[in-house]
């Protein structure tokens, strides 16, 4: 993917003042960037398999600030892998160091609104494995999501409630740290879903 194509694609998903910096990173560290459908348990991921080009995926439906944070989070995994292969913890000190290094040039008001910037700066002092594990960051980022009157948040529901997420129906189970164990109604498969996920209550 050339620079013009990167610019065209990224302009739909991340703040305009972050695009040149992200393109510079992607050109310096070539990989396959894939924008995917919404997934139940994650906003993005990094994968490497055999001789295939390393791949980063990010959910298409994130707001621009959440998308950017997720993309840089996964780029930090890629840089950590390049330097250390699989010899470090996924979200250990090496990954945190890379994440902080990559995020630092973006921590400015031209990229993030003041309210997001304030919370994000605190988050980056000791970044968690997922932005969803930081309730303060989740709350401030949610203000920039598209407004949907009919949706609510998973943590507002009672155990046993049936809800819809990503066109599938689930039954809410017990809380496990920051995620709920949920059973898909049709298949009976178990999923861990973020307590802050937006869902449609059914019954």
Of 122, 148, 120, residue with least CA distance to 38: 148
> Which token pair is 9?
């694609």
Digit-by-digit pLDDT tens for the chain (203 residues) are 678 888 889 999 999 999 999 999 999 998 999 999 988 788 999 998 877 889 999 999 999 999 999 999 999 999 999 999 888 888 999 999 999 999 999 999 999 999 999 999 999 999 988 887 888 999 999 899 876 555 688 999 999 999 988 888 999 999 998 899 999 999 999 999 988 888 888 88
Q: Can you state the percent helix, strand and coil of the chain, rounding each to 5?
A: 40, 20, 40
Q: Is the pTM of this model over 0.75?
A: yes
Of 147, 146, 148, 143, residue with least CA distance to 115: 143
Residue-wise DSSP of 123-144 = HTTS--S-GGG-HHHHHHHHTT
> Which token pair is 122?
């605190």
What is the model's pLDDT at position 121? 96
Longest dimension (CA), the chain: 50
What is the model's pLDDT at position 6? 84
């Amino acid at each position: 993917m050339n620079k013009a194509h990167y610019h065209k694609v990224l302009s739909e998903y991340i703040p305009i003042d972050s695009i040149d910096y992200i393109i510079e990173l992607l050109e310096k560290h070539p990989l396959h960037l894939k924008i995917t459908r919404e997934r139940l348990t994650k906003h993005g991921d990094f994968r490497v398999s055999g001789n295939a080009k390393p791949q980063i995926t990010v959910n298409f439906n994130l707001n621009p600030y959440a998308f950017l944070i997720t993309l840089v989070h996964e780029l930090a995994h890629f840089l950590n892998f390049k330097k250390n292969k699989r010899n470090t913890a996924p979200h250990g000190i090496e990954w945190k160091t890379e994440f902080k290094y990559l995020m630092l040039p973006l921590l400015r008001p031209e990229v993030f609104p003041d309210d997001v910037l304030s919370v994000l700066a605190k988050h980056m002092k000791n970044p968690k494995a997922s932005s969803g594990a930081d309730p303060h960051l989740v709350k401030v980022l949610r203000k920039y999501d598209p407004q949907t009157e009919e949706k609510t948040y998973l943590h507002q529901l009672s155990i046993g409630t049936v809800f819809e997420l990503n066109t599938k129906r689930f039954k809410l189970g017990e809380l496990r740290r920051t995620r709920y164990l949920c059973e898909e109604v049709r298949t009976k498969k178990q999923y861990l879903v973020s307590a802050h996920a937006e869902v449609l209550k059914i019954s």
